[in-house]
Amino acid sequence: MQAPEFLAAHAAEAERAIAQVLDDRASVVPERLLEAMRYSLMAGGKRVRPALVRECYRACGGVDDARVLPAMMAIEAIHTYSLIHDDLPCMDDDDVRRGSPTCHRRFDEATAVLAADALQALAFELLASADIEAELRCELIRRLALAAGCQGMVGGQMMDMQAEDGSGIDLMQVERIHLHKTGALLCWCCEAGALLAGAGSDQLDACSRYGKAVGLLFQIADDILDATASSETLGKSAGKDAAQHKATYVSVLGLVPARELAAEMLELAIAAGSTLGEGGQPLNTLAQYIMGRDR
């Protein structure tokens, strides 16, 4: 399925801003470290996460697009740090990411670990420096720390590793893993956009429900693609979930039921987005793209 035009527009804006942030630090960051940070952060990708921030902001009545740019950059920095770590030999041990050598293959393991660490810290620096109300800055930082840390993504990664033998894993456990590992950060994007727009409780709730549904939809689609697409199409190693005996929606349910569950998550996402009125239409388009993407 072709990506919506606004996704590319948001990606381009986020990338310009990220490039400037890195350029601004050229005189104070060791050259090799900055090169590794730039290599991974500017390696392309769909940039779905910053798009979710921007579109939830607009759906809740936000009009000053510059207001959400620090959050858009911060989530890409966190996401990229997680990918660098995920590819390391001690984790998923991958050699290819987005069609290019992974960070530890392009540089070395120590540099990759440090680049990821630096990107994680940069995310919080960007939020702390944002030109928004102090109370809101603190709330966004607090929520991102929860979504990225031991109660969110990192905790989900730990659960995922512990479930690698696949024995005794049921659908509830797979869902618990991915609500943390994938869903927490995607949900943060939606809630951050709403909070930056000054959303009311109903709007914030709708964005949160949308984020949870899209988070699971994204992971189910990933699991299906890992089982059905080629490495060339994906831009990363295909079939690794099965090879590593990971607990996935496909391994637990089978391919057809996994696709049916993805359709259910899409319905939930669209129902939540529709409560935001006309402003929620791009969110529904984005959910449909996540469902139908081929990589």
What is the length of the chain?
A: 295
pLDDT at 120: 98
By the 10 Å C-beta count (0-12 exposed, 13-18 middle, 19+ buried), 72 is classed as: buried
Tell whether the model's pLDDT for residue 292 goes beyond 90. Answer: no
Residue 238: is its pLDDT beyond 60? Answer: no
pLDDT of residue 243: 61
| Percent of the chain at pLDDT exceeding 90 | 81
pLDDT of residue 244: 64
Question: Is the predicted pLDDT of residue 54 greater than 80, yes or no?
Answer: yes
Predicted pLDDT of residue 237: 62
Looking at residue 158, its pLDDT comes to: 93
pLDDT tens, residue by residue, 153-198: 999 999 998 887 666 788 899 999 999 999 999 999 999 999 999 9
Question: 3-class DSSP state for residue 9?
Answer: helix
Instruction: Look at residue 234 and tell me whether its pLDDT is greater than 60.
Output: no
The pLDDT score that the predictor gives to residue 231 is 64
Per-residue confidence (pLDDT) for residue 235, from 0 to 100: 60
Give pTM, 2 decimals. 0.92
The candidate with the shortest Cα–Cα distance to 56, out of 208, 240, 201, is 208
Say whether domain 5-292 belongs to CATH 2.60.120.260.
Answer: no
Q: Is the pLDDT of residue 295 over 90?
A: no
Strand partners, 101: 96
Alpha helices in the chain (DSSP H): 5-24, 31-41, 48-59, 69-87, 103-106, 109-128, 134-148, 153-162, 171-178, 184-196, 201-228, 231-234, 240-243, 249-253, 255-274, 281-292
Q: What are the two backbone dihedrals, phi and then psi, of residue 92, each rounded to the nearest 5 degrees? A: -90, -10
Burial of 259 (C-beta count, 10 Å sphere; 0-12/13-18/19+): middle
Confidence band (pLDDT; 50, 70, 90) for 230?
low
